[in-house]
Structure 1
Amino acid sequence: MARPSLQAERQQSIMAAFTRCISKLGLEAASLDEIAKEAGMQRSLVRHFAGNREDLVNQVADYVASKFENIWRQQEHSHREDLTNEWLVDVLFSTKPEAVYRTMLPAFYALLSASHRYPTVSVRMTQCFELYVADLSLELQRRHSQASSDDCQQVALGVINIYFAWDSLRGLELNPTLIRNNQQLIKRLLSSLK
């Protein structure tokens, strides 16, 4: 058995490679051979360190969801002092998201669309979505103490739904008016908490 640090390092390398393969090829076309090639290791080592295909899919769902959760929490934390509602629009509708985010976005949505075939993936993607809503609800409660927790959760759910719909279309060349209207819709939702 490999030493724990090597095991963890190899698993991270495999997950990063699998994520890139999903982003380039799609989930179903990202074979063990493609993952091994992308990771720069033999196929047998991919199986040794990460398991069979279903194990890999479950692990990459956790890897991708965790990365997105970390990005969200860093963005949220970096705007804690900005008490305006503009921070959220700036974070969600950034025209230049971080490179790691752009790389992982196709993998995230591929996993989301395949979650009906993988129960563990479905659970993990649900947790990720619910974390976004719960975190935003708490942040809205902090910023709008006069609003009820139900109102904050409803606004958070609306904002996150709008964001997920818009974000899933990020690869398209959307009309700037649509982007601006999405931003205005989020501002309108947030203003309902005043």
Structure 2
Amino acid sequence: MSEVTADVGPKNAIVRGAFAALMKQGLPTLSYDSIAREAGLSRQLVRYHFKDPETLMLSVCDFLSMVYREALLRSVSQKTQIDRLTVFLDFYFDLLDEEPKPRDDQVYDALMSLAANSNRIRKNLRHHYTMMGEVISHELQMSHPNLTLPAARELSYLIVSLMYGHWKMVASLGLNQTHKRAARAAIDRLIRSYIDEESTKLAPGEAWS
């Protein structure tokens, strides 16, 4: 897990404890007891701050978003605009030695599973992925001004889908992590194809709607 802004309060410790428990044990065996052990707190204190599991998982989702946001800010803060897009995409495919992608696949698997029956978690995850898409769309337009906004939004949707699908194939199904280089190279070819075609062949409807 990448370094994030320190917060030693009990709620933050509980969220981190839930994250650690999910990484070790997965969703089926997650319990208040296992979270309390990882957080170094009592079960009663965990229940006091998070009376229902759904609220706790929403906080875990927000924690993940914070981790990624701070890691990306560290990675792109000193880069040129063109470098920013490259660094952004390399980060999500774990190709930056100086800023490794957070190890969180079991946690995202758990959140996606819970989203099937929780409108609150589904809405939260959708918001996070949509924000990621909006950021990528912005970076695409800044790096390639000839891309129209609809083209950049459609392209960002395809990129986010490829990112998520790649890591599920690797983390959940056990494909070799070296596939990340093939997926990352495919994204560059995809971007070039949109630039070469001048965004004239867009799918019906607007991406991220």
TM-score category (smaller protein) = 0.7 to 0.9
Residues in 2 aligned to 1:181 and 1:48: alpha-carbon distance in whole angstroms: 47
1:3-54 per-residue CA deviation (whole Å, 9 max, x = no partner) reads xxxx971000000000111111122321011111111111111111222223
The answer to whether the 8 Å contact 2:90/2:96 transfers is no
Instruction: Check the 8 A contact 1:57/1:121 in 2, yes or no.
Output: yes
2 CA distance for matches of 1:92 and 1:165? Answer: 12
Aligned match of 1:163: 163
Asked if structure 1 preserves the Cα contact closer than 8 Å seen for 2:90 and 2:184, the reply is: no
Offset from partner CA, 1:93-114 (integer Å, 9 cap, x none): 2256756711x33212220222
Overall identity of the aligned pairs, in %: 19
Structure 2 CA distance for aligned equivalents of residues 50 and 164 of structure 1: 29
Note the 1:28-177 alignment, pairs <5 A: 28-75=28-75, 77-78=76-77, 80-81=79-80, 83=82, 86-95=86-95, 101-102=102-103, 104-171=104-171, 172-174=174-176, 176=178
Does the aligned pair in 2 maintain the 1:64–1:107 contact within 8 Å? no
Question: Pairwise CA RMSD of aligned residues?
Answer: 2.6
Is the 2:140–2:152 Cα contact (8 Å) retained in structure 1? yes
Aligned residues: 185
Look up the equivalent residue of 2:176 and give its one-letter code.
L
SS in 1 for 2:82: coil
The corresponding residue for 1:186 is 187
Q: CA deviation at 1:149?
A: 0.4
Cα distance in 2, alignment partners of residues 183 and 147 from structure 1: 20
Tell me, which stretches of 5 or more residues in structure 1 are unaligned?
1-6
Structure 1 residues 86-95 or 52-61, which shifts more? 86-95
Give runs of aligned pairs for residues 3-22 of structure 1, distance below 5 A.
Answer: 9-22=9-22
Query: Moved runs in structure 1, 4+ residues, more than 4 A?
Result: 95-100
Q: How far does residue 82 in structure 1 lie from its aligned partner after superposition?
A: 5.4
State whether residues 79 and 87 of structure 1, in contact with CA within 8 Å, keep that contact through their aligned partners in structure 2. no
What's the CA shift for 1:55? Answer: 2.4
